[in-house]
Copies of this chain bind each other. A is one copy, B any other.
């Protein structure tokens, strides 16, 4: 029993153009086609696409997913490499959080500005002055 691309899309919650895109970049194998060139998928493709979707939701890049898929197909191998890829990704996420938190703190200080005129606005001041210490003292 084969699936059309629309059925695959519904079952995996992955949009049709995205499925075709994954095929194009080689994440999904080229499926068989009908005589009229329409794609027909097998149940395995649902599983593979769900794997991809879940990895994307976890923020893995396509290159990492390509590696994970390669490793996942090799049941007797140690999962050390899988661990390493995940750990590297986790470190990046932590790093992003740290940078965004610093950003949030700076922005939170800025928004305490209580609606004065532009010429005395703390936000504008910070943006104009940072690292330069030019003017606008009070």
Q: Say yes or no: is A103 at the interface (Cβ < 8 Å to chain B).
A: yes
Q: From A58, A72, A75, A106, name the one whose CB has the most chain B CB atoms within 10 angstroms.
A: A58
* Segment 91-138 of A: residues with Cβ below 8 Å from B: 93-94, 96-97, 100-101, 103-104, 106-108, 110-111, 113, 115-119, 121, 123-124, 126-134, 136-138
The answer to whether the Cβ of A55 comes within 8 Å of any Cβ in the partner chain is yes
**Residues of A within 8 A of B (CB-CB), count:** 59
Q: Are A97 and B101 in contact (CB under 8 A)?
A: yes
What are 24 A-B contacts with C-beta separation under 8 Å?
A50-B132, A51-B128, A54-B128, A57-B133, A58-B106, A68-B124, A68-B127, A71-B118, A71-B124, A72-B124, A74-B118, A75-B118, A77-B118, A78-B117, A79-B116, A82-B118, A83-B123, A86-B123, A87-B111, A90-B104, A90-B108, A90-B111, A93-B103, A97-B97
